[in-house]
């Protein structure tokens, strides 16, 4: 049986939702320890099924050489370090990355801190970072105010924007956290700063940076 497969040409053709499905399967397989040959073969099939939108029973009918070739292409693609994507279009609407990080509210920071370390909730983190553009002039734009939502619609956003923002925050690291805390201090939000910095609360700069590092380690992303 001949199976027609459309392979994504770049990360922008892969959605966050697809990647979340793949990461979930990968994590479940790794719970029992390192991947054995049987698990690796299953993961190869799922890679094609999810990212190429091919039914699993069709993938099983493909030639082994084709499966290996497509897996190599997809694996290489997923190991690319994308730059920060400032805006993208999805379903006829343009979304923009939050223009000024120093203007982030405490609520935005807390939600970002809670969700950015968990791939199951990554769409909620993206809802903090990327919002519909309501006004644009040249390269400058204004995005909608932040509203807490389930972020389900952003599961359809391109993966290059997701990974680019994760890498951006990792590189920005402690500097970003310090800027946010400084801004809060200037607003005399001392009690909130103490809460973030408190060891007993288990949140704060060190854990925030560590959680981002954990995400990148899980992605096998090299920053060299």
- Report the 10 Å Cβ neighbour count for 39: 16
Query: Residue range 198-223: average pLDDT?
Result: 46
pLDDT tens, 28-45?
888 867 778 888 889 999
Q: What is the DSSP letter of 220?
A: T
Distance set, CA 201 to CA 31, 161, 193, 196, 198 (Å): 28, 31, 12, 7, 6
Structure tokens at 62: 């493909």
Highest-confidence segment of 25-34, 127-136, 213-222: 127-136
Query: Residue range 159-167: average pLDDT?
Result: 93
pTM of the entire structure?
0.75
Distance of CA 151 to the CA centre of its chain: 13
Please tell me the predicted confidence (pLDDT) of residue 31.
82
Residue 106 has pLDDT above 60, yes or no: yes
Q: What percent of the chain has pLDDT over 90?
A: 44
pLDDT tens, 52-92?
999 988 888 888 999 999 999 999 999 988 999 999 999 99
Among 33-47, 88-102, 137-151, 178-192, name the one with the lowest average pLDDT.
178-192
Residue 79 in contact with residue 121, Cβ under 8 Å? no
């Amino acid at each position: 049986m001949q199976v027609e497969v459309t392979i994504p040409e770049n990360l922008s053709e892969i959605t966050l939702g697809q990647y979340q499905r793949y990461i979930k399967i990968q994590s479940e397989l790794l719970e029992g320890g390192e991947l054995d040959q049987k698990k690796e073969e299953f993961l190869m099939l799922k890679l094609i099924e999810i990212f190429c939108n091919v039914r699993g029973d069709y993938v099983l009918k493909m030639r082994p050489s084709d499966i290996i070739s497509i897996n190599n292409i997809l694996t290489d693609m997923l190991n690319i370090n994308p730059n920060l994507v400032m805006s993208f279009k999805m379903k006829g609407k343009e979304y923009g990355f939050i223009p000024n990080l120093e203007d982030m509210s405490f609520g935005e920071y807390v939600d970002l801190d809670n969700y950015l370390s968990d791939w199951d909730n990554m769409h909620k983190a993206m809802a903090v970072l990327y919002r519909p553009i309501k006004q644009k002039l040249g390269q400058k734009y204004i995005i909608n105010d932040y509203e807490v939502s389930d972020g389900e619609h952003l599961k359809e956003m391109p993966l290059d924007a997701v990974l680019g923002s994760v890498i951006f925050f990792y590189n920005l690291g402690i500097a970003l956290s310090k800027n946010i805390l400084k801004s809060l201090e200037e607003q005399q939000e001392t009690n909130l700063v103490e809460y973030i910095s408190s060891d007993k609360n288990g949140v704060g700069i060190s854990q925030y940076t560590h959680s981002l590092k954990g995400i990148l380690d899980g992605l096998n992303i090299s920053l060299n």
